[in-house]
Amino acid sequence: MSTAATPAAQAPRPPLNWKAIDEDPRFQTLHSKKVTFLTSLMVFSLIYYFLLPIGAAYFTDLFKIKVYGVVNVGILFALSQFIVAWGIAFYYTAKAKKFDAMAAELVRDADKIGR
């Protein structure tokens, strides 16, 4: 039994050159694109969500404005949270497929990089 901490050691082939893969320009592009994308999407989603408790507490009059019939800004904004959350998930999934394609190339060539 090998240690659970390094499952890579269980692989029959020789260990990969991780440092070389890390330094591969294709990985560097994937990494920087992915981190930028994730950070900005995360920040956007956090800001959008926290506007709800902040708005309900400090902008109560705005939340009370009726848009049509009895439906007010507060109800619509709370419902929009669901739409936005689903939208973020949808957008992320579409974008992640592009990252998958970039990663697939690295997975395929992993054995050759740095040798």
Partner 1 sequence: MDKKRVLLIAAGALALPLIAMPALAQGAVADQWKWLTFLVFGAIIAVTMYVTFVAAKRVKTAADFYAAGGGVSGLQNGWAIAGDYLSAASFLGIAGLISLYGYDGFMYSVGWLVAYITVLLVIAEPCRNIGKYTLSDILAYRNDPKKARIVGAISTITVSTFYLTAQMVGAGVLIKTLIGIDYEVSVITVGVLMLAYVLFGGMVATTWVQIIKAVLLVCASILMVIMVWSQYGFFGDFLTNVVGDAKVQARVAALIGDKATNLSATQLGQIFLEPGLFLKVPLDQISLGMALVFGTAGMPHILMRFFTVPTAQAARTSVNWAMAIIGGFYVLTLFLGMGAAMKVGAPAIAGIDPGGNMANPLLAQALGGGPDSLGGNLFMAFVSAVAFATIVAVVAGLVLAAASAMAHDLYVGVIRKEHVTPQEQVKAARIATIFVGAMAIVIGISAKGQNVAHLVALAFAVASSANFPCVLLTLFWKRCNTGGIVLGMIVGTVAAIGLVMVSPNLTYPKAVKAAAQKVVDGAPARMAPITEALASGDAAKIAKAEKDKAAVDKAVAAAKANLEKFKGDDTSIMGLEKPLFELRNPGLISIPLGFLAVILGSLLYRDKRSEDMWDELYVRQTTGILAAKATAH
Looking at 36, 42, 47, 112, which residue binds partner 1 (CB under 8 A)? Answer: 42
| Minimum CB distance to partner 1, residue 115 (Å) | 15
Interaction between residue 95 and partner 1 (CB under 8 A) = no
Interaction between residue 91 and partner 1 (CB under 8 A) = no
Amino acid at 54: I
Whole-number Å distance between alpha carbons of 26 and 39: 20
Interaction between residue 96 and partner 1 (CB under 8 A) = yes
Give the ranges where the chain is alpha helix by DSSP (H): 18-23, 25-58, 60-64, 73-109
Looking at 36, 86, 101, 112, which residue binds partner 1 (CB under 8 A)? Answer: 86
What are 66's strand-pairing partners?
72
Q: Which of residues 59-78 bind partner 1 (CB under 8 A)?
A: 60, 63-64, 68-72, 74-75, 78
The tokens describing 63, both together, are 């939340």
